[in-house]
Chain A
Amino acid sequence: MVFDPSRLSADECSRRRHRVVTIVILMVAPAVVTMADLHWRTGFDTWKVAHLVLFTLLLVLIALGATQSLIGYWLRRSGAETCRIADTLSAEDLGRPVTARTAVVMPIFNEEVARVIEGIRAVYTSVQKTGRLPECDFFILSDSNDPNCWIAEEAAWLALTRELGAHGRIFYRKRRMGINKKAGNIADFCRRWGRIYRYMVVLDADSIMTGDAILRLVQLMEKNRRVGIIQGVPMLANGETILARLQQFASRLYGPLSAAGLNYWQLGEANYWGHNAIIRLAPFMRHCSLPELPGSGAFGGRILSHDYVEAALMRRAGWEVWLATGIEGNYEECPPTVVDLAERDRRWLQGNLQHTRLIFARGFHPVNRVHFLLGILSYLASPLWLAFLVLSVVIAGHLHDADVASLPMRGFAAYARWSYAGEALCLFFYTLVLLFLPKALSLLDLRGRPADVEDFGGWEGLLASVSLETVIFTLLAPVLMLFHSWFIGLTLLGKRVSWGTQRRGGSDGAQWAEAARAHGAQTVLGILAAYVVFRVDVGLALWMSPILAGLILSIPLSYLTGSQPLGLTMQAQGLFDTPEETRPLPEIRELAERTAARRSAPQPPDKLRPNYGLLQAVLDPYVNAVHVSFLRAKDDPPQATGERLVALRAKLMQGGPQALQPRDRTSLLLDAESMHLLHRDVWASPASRLSEWWQAGLEYYTRLAPPPRTAFSR
């Protein structure tokens, strides 16, 4: 049946949201009362009040996840979901020609060029195959400031367009100044070319969308003229380390239920996640330009996490934002190691904390305020959990010192005939049930679908994978808790994060030294915590052993979960299989193969590698030509600038790149005349007038090996 969002009443939206809150309350309330009863039996004090408040807050978050999965399960099994944006197309709509001009944009910042280019190739080729999107252009929007990436991007773009015959279809734009990060990058695109296109599909550097998925999104936008953004639900793919495969397995297995539950209450007030989404450009340009937040420090200034805010602004202007469940062919990759995961979370965390102020901004839809709040709580939960654990130890210590198990107040025990320990155990298991409900429901959802079970490696592999995934994530949870708590502390102290590049794909995986540096303090803290908790109460220590073990073993855990060979071994054993691995789409398979081939290509000598971009831009006649063609020639540069550039050129030739500051190298790379002259002069200068680095660079182009060394060599 075709769904018409315009007929969705406000009452229905409210009813669904109220239902969700009611279920959450029904899940949380018995546990909170039981916890209160436990504290009552041993006598309330300030510690216990704080403990109860934290327990309630944390349980609400757990219950919300469980509720979404529960609703998602019910919708999928009963087929009762009637409000999916993906179901708005009739057979006639699907057959209608698509003429809307669409730009597929990929903003990048110092990303691995091989992955970026192969990603664009995969999406472009897939779109071409559909033959249904004749007006679709592609933009690589670079903010890269590392010359090695920047120069390689330019050359790779030209090579790709030449290879695909895509001149005038795939474009490359490099900003001289990366103002306002990714949001500024997209805004710059909108200001330059936004008026040409009706829609913009935003990809991340590690995104993949099939042509069919993009076509479907465009058709949905064409059909639903009040929709401003449709966010796809990307699945994780192409992971090779254990952690990456764990994440993609978990997201693939548990994600559909959660997404269905999310869509149940979000409806036309969904969120934008920054990529793998389609945006209607005219309202986006009119209403979603980000202002600066008042104040300075971590909570003020430019908005870091732009996506939630853009969705809220779009909704504020009256445009709907939908989550598109049920559209296949939408993928992204995930961080390969725990350290990378923490790095990414640090960036997201500061962006989300910055939204605190926005909860109270005028005019936003209440659901958007809830999105802001949940985004903040998703990270704030870590220090709250840490505080909860500390309070648990303190309370246990007090009880131990007082040598009482319970005071002679009877509480619920009078009715339930519970011992203190029995009641505590029940509460513990109830919490576990809420925690594991999404997993259990996701497994139950596979009943009667043998083909889907096979895609996950069969029941045996599936159950083994879920068990192992549970163990590993249980051990990793306290590690991430400490990372998040630390990052929040830094953010509150006003230490801003630099938005670096995320290591994607398998790359080098984890390294012992890196793991030791990142987790050394956590290991020490874990050992100290274990000592303290054992001193306080051995029973409590046993209960907390998964947390303590996670911290104490964080270094080997981080290293092993970041191991690519181990990840591939597990894949061979049928563990953590996903449909993308057992039945890969051609786009995903080809992307993985082509990227791997590029990664295994011979590397330049170590000595040249740090400044290989500069070397190519100066020496290689083609790279130089492409690079200079991107630069604006200055008609009449100021004399001081000209003199500075002359001095920098001379210094570069005589001293090599090490003789210059990075900003000086960038100045030269941004000056067309300098690049032109350097190409001419370095080639035409005798070695005696060039630095050793340039001599090594020129040698790289010779076909002569050095003379063989023998006893007769002089």
Chain B
Amino acid sequence: METAIAEPSPSTADPAWDEAFLRTESYLRAYGLESAVLLNELTAAIIQEARQRAQETPGAEPVALALEAAHARIGAWFARSGGHCDWANDGSRLQGRLALIVADLPGRWSNAFLSPDPLPAALAEAMSSFQILPSPELRLANMAPEPLEFALLEPLDRRLPGRRFWKPARAAVTWLLIFGFFGIAWAKSH
């Protein structure tokens, strides 16, 4: 029997959307989401949404659309979780990310991220009460450099020696006596 060798059918997959899928998955993973099942489900849903957006904005790059859709989903999740973060706003997004990391989302609650289930109360509390305080409130003070004066003959600038002079002088005499002893020993023997 002759076996018909079929021509390989051209792939219907679009590399640009493959890239968008991978990028979205990586982006979610960067938030600490590690469950393969969750990642896959979420990414598929986001890509689906991005494909719909692509129909409205032809010519837009799939990766950009996918990230847009991902942000929209994160924003919706934040809104649902009661967070005060408008994810559409770039500045607020930063605050949102800080809230997530301060609440230790990647370490303790990664599976709750973008989940349709209600947020665990502890996570919601941690996110809403987060604060980041790198330094205490400023209490500015002045520190003027201390002047230095260099005088080689400084001791001579002082007034005549008093009691403070004679103490070291007495010690110096002792030392001179020691030197003198060795000097005399030397002179007598050489």
A: which residues have CB within 8 A of B?
Answer: 10-11, 14, 18, 21-22, 25-26, 29-30, 32-33, 36-37, 40, 137, 139, 157-158, 162, 167-168, 171-173, 187, 190-196, 285-294, 313, 357-358, 360-363, 409-412, 414-415, 619-622, 624-626, 628-630, 676, 680, 683-687, 698, 701-704
Contacts and interface: CB of A to CB of B under 8 A. Distances in A.
Contacts of B63: 684-686
11 contacts: A22-B175, A139-B135, A172-B135, A193-B135, A193-B139, A288-B146, A409-B190, A683-B27, A686-B61, A698-B23, A701-B30
A703 B29 contact: yes
Contacts of B135: 139, 171-173, 192-193
The 10 closest A-B pairs by CB, nearest first: A625-B97, A18-B171, A291-B145, A701-B26, A362-B149, A622-B101, A289-B143, A195-B139, A684-B67, A684-B64
B26 A702 contact: yes
A36 B179 CA distance: 13
Contacts of B178: 22, 25-26, 29
Given A287-B146, A360-B150, A625-B101, A702 B182 contact: no
Contact of B102 (A162, A289, A415): A162
A196 B30 CA distance: 39
A52 to B, nearest CB: 12
A65 to B, nearest CB: 19
Interface stretch (B51-59, B76-84, B115-123, B126-134): B126-134
A688 to B, nearest CB: 9
Contacts of A704: 22
Contacts of B159: none
Given A196-B136, A701-B30, A624 B149 contact: no
B124 interface: no
B6 interface: no
A703 B131 contact: no
A139 B131 CA distance: 18
Contacts of B106: 622
Given A620-B30, A621-B97, 5 more contacts: A33-B182, A33-B186, A162-B102, A698-B23, A701-B30
A628 B94 contact: yes
Contact of A358 (B148, B151, B179): B148
A164 B178 CA distance: 63
Contacts of B114: none
B125 interface: no
Contacts, number: 184
B190 A37 contact: yes
Interface in B170-189: 171, 174-175, 178-179, 182, 185-186, 189
A171 B143 contact: no
A67 to B, nearest CB: 14
A411 B136 contact: no
B150 A362 contact: yes
B189 to A, nearest CB: 6
A190 B143 contact: yes
A36 B150 contact: no
Interface of B: 16, 19, 22-23, 25-27, 29-31, 36, 39, 61-64, 67-68, 90, 94-95, 97-98, 100-102, 104, 106, 131-136, 138-152, 154, 157, 164, 167-168, 171, 174-175, 178-179, 182, 185-186, 189-190
A684 B97 CA distance: 17
Contact of B171 (A22, A137, A411): A22
B46 to A, nearest CB: 13
Contacts of A172: 134-135
Given A29-B182, A676-B90, A703-B36, A411 B189 contact: yes
A703 B39 CA distance: 10
Given A11-B167, A158-B101, A620-B30, A285 B190 contact: no
Name the residue in B36, B63, B101 with the highest tally of chain A Cβ atoms < 10 Å from its Cβ: B101
Contacts of A40: 190
Contact of A629 (B104, B132, B138): B132
A192 B139 contact: yes
A518 B179 CA distance: 44
B136 A193 contact: yes
Contacts of A167: 131-133
B94 A703 contact: no
Contacts of B164: 10
B64 A629 contact: no
A33 B183 CA distance: 8
A10 B143 CA distance: 31
A22 B168 CA distance: 12
A563 B5 CA distance: 66
B181 to A, nearest CB: 8
Contacts of A628: 94
Nearest to A186: B143
B145 A25 contact: no
Contacts of B174: 18, 22
Contacts of B144: 289
A192 B140 contact: yes
A560 B154 CA distance: 51
A291 B165 CA distance: 30
A26 B177 CA distance: 11
A361 B94 CA distance: 53
Given A171-B133, A701-B29, A362 B151 contact: yes
Contacts of B143: 187, 190-191, 194, 285-286, 289
Contact of B146 (A37, A191, A291, A411): A291
B98 A625 contact: yes
B70 to A, nearest CB: 9
Contacts of B179: 25, 29
A527 B188 CA distance: 45
Q: Which of A18, A414, A415 has the most CB of B within 10 A?
A: A18
B133 to A, nearest CB: 5
A358 B150 CA distance: 8
A409 B185 CA distance: 15
B25 A702 contact: yes
Contacts of A285: 141, 143
A361 B185 CA distance: 39
Contact of A36 (B134, B142, B168, B186): B186
Nearest to A362: B149
A686 B16 CA distance: 8
Given A25-B175, A361-B149, A703 B25 contact: yes
A25 B151 CA distance: 29
Given A190-B141, A285-B141, A21 B133 contact: no
Contacts of A629: 94, 98, 132, 134
B53 to A, nearest CB: 13
A630 B134 contact: yes
A328 to B, nearest CB: 31
Contacts of A26: 178
Contact of B90 (A286, A410, A621, A680): A680
B182 A362 contact: no
Interface centre among B25, B102, B157 (most CB of A within 10 A): B102
A18 B170 CA distance: 9
B30 A621 contact: yes
Contact of A162 (B39, B104, B148): B104
B189 A412 contact: yes
A94 to B, nearest CB: 29
Contacts of A703: 25-26, 29, 36, 39
A25 B177 CA distance: 11
Contacts of B146: 287-291, 313
